[in-house]
Structure 1
Amino acid sequence: MEKFVIKNIKRPEKNIVEEYKRLDVSTVYEAQGKKGLINHEIQPVQNNSFICGPAVTAVCYAGDNLMIHAAIEVCQPGDILVVTTIGESTSGMIGELIVMALQKRGVKGLIIDSGIRDVARIRELGFPVWSKAISSEGTTKNRGGAVNAAAICGGCLIEPGDLILADDDGVVNVKKKDLETTLELSKKRMQKEEMTKEKINNGELSLDFYGLREMLEKENVVYYDSYQEQVK
């Protein structure tokens, strides 16, 4: 593979990013047709964190974090670092010192399809991380890869400058070309959910306002007044 670092990428407009910060992962995922969700194995290391920003990608060889160090240099405030590996990896590729360096650059968080370590300290630093593994296993720094290349992370193709959202539910990716469309669809979904909440607060049943009684009938679901009646 070609080994390279792309220093400058096209990022979403700041006003678009700010709009997305009002949303959540599940809403965006559903709004864009159940696309862009990163594998559930990549889990938040801390609770109640939310990040939203453009992706800077680092493609590393398994067990080597050289390209993470290279990526730090090209990160800008508001970015999210997305790390993936060539070959399966659960090594602790990022620890306290790299997190401190990322924070100094204004990076908002990390998504890594591998492992991290120094977890207690990372939590103390308040740096949001979504990781596949936690491991003390160390790494080398002698294999070149790529920074700001298209990367497969958690089964999802992420291109530099794509928008990343991550919260307690997981991580979702929005393609640059889809940003405006997905934003409008997400807003409409949020409005619909507000209407649904109002119905629930009014005591309405989801069986009725979702029209699910017809589905129960179609599936030949039978109602009984009691268990005793059912077993006769």
Structure 2
Amino acid sequence: MSTNASWPPGYAIHPRVTALDPELVTAFRTVPAAHASDCMGRGVGALGLTAYHRDLKLALCGPALTVRVRPGDNLMIHVALQMARPGDVIVIDGAGDLTQALIGGLMRTTAIARGVAGFVVDGAVRDLAEWAEGGIAVYARGHTHRGPSKDGPGEVNVPIACAGLSVAPGDLILGDADGVVCVPAAQAATLLPQVRAHAAREEKIRAGNRAGTPDPERFNALLRQKGCPV
């Protein structure tokens, strides 16, 4: 499906974007969201989301299929589900509205059947007991039993804002127990060696902490930069 001049205002369906090498996505599967966030300046990442799948060991990693909807309406999310390919992450800009759920248990069933990696929802979900069974990741702003309409408008595969994230179609989404981060597709290849180096540095610090031999110079150097006489 694609947009054309005959579509009414507020409706748009763009083709799925393939911007990431599958091998690069695979390499990021072991990268903690916190490491990616640290290497991108510590000022990025979603805010205010809860992991409703409840499995702290279930990590999310895959290309973004983006959706913008009218608060409380999920017509275009259903369209996105039909477009999704295995490993995709459906990222939804629902404007943070919590009055009506945007996805629920039936959509979870469809998503699992299609191999969707997970959802990131700036809005509400429902059917919490089903999401808590695991098998697919879902992060959302909140929950309610009140169901959605299916009237539109909405857009698929457009740049969106989601819980403080700026997400373009095809960007890399990482999620784990700490939260969700978006890595711009154009930066992913450059970021990978940085997060690996960051992990190595943290492991060195962790080993010193375990051995009871922390490095005070790590912090003294920072204090001297501020003019403190240490």
Q: Which TM-score tier does this pair reach, normalised by the shorter chain?
A: 0.7 to 0.9
> Compared with structure 1, are the counterparts of its residues 117 and 214 closer, same or farther at alpha carbon in structure 2 (3 Å cutoff)?
closer
TM-score in terms of structure 2 length: 0.88
1:153 aligned onto 2:165:
no
- Give 1:126 deviation, angstroms: 2.7
1:27 aligned residue = 35
Work out the CA distance in 1 between the residues paired with 2:43 and 2:187. 11
Residue 97 of structure 2: SS of its match in structure 1?
coil
The one-character-per-residue Cα deviations of 1:166-209 (angstroms, maximum 9, x if unpaired) are 01101000001101111111011011112112212221135x15
1:1-232 paired onto structure 2 within 5 Å: 2-39=10-47, 41-45=48-52, 46-48=54-56, 49-85=58-94, 87-90=95-98, 91-206=100-215, 208-212=216-220, 215=223
Work out the CA distance in 2 between the residues paired with 1:30 and 1:214. 18
Aligned residues: 218
The one-character-per-residue Cα deviations of 1:128-180 (angstroms, maximum 9, x if unpaired) are 11010011111110112101010000122100100000011010000011011
Work out the CA distance in 1 between the residues paired with 2:63 and 2:42. 20
**Higher Rg:** 1
Mapped contact 1:165–1:171 kept (Cα < 8 A): yes
Q: Which runs of 5+ in 2 are unaligned?
A: 1-8
Work out the CA distance in 2 between the residues paired with 1:64 and 1:209. 55
Residue 178 of structure 1: SS of its match in structure 2?
helix
Q: Which runs of 5+ in 1 are unaligned?
A: 222-232
Q: Tell me which stretches of 4 or more aligned residues in structure 1 moved more than 6 Å.
A: none
> Compared with structure 1, are the counterparts of its residues 88 and 33 closer, same or farther at alpha carbon in structure 2 (3 Å cutoff)?
closer
**What is the alpha-carbon root mean square deviation over aligned residues?**
2.0
Work out the CA distance in 1 between the residues paired with 2:72 and 2:175. 25
Query: Percent same amino acid at aligned positions?
Result: 27
> Compared with structure 1, are the counterparts of its residues 176 and 35 closer, same or farther at alpha carbon in structure 2 (3 Å cutoff)?
farther
Which residue identity is paired with 1:114?
A: G
Residue 89 of structure 1: SS of its match in structure 2?
strand
1:226 aligned residue = none
TM-score in terms of structure 1 length: 0.87
Mapped contact 2:96–2:163 kept (Cα < 8 A): no
> Compared with structure 1, are the counterparts of its residues 3 and 108 closer, same or farther at alpha carbon in structure 2 (3 Å cutoff)?
same
Work out the CA distance in 2 between the residues paired with 1:36 and 1:70. 29
Which residue identity is paired with 2:24?
A: I
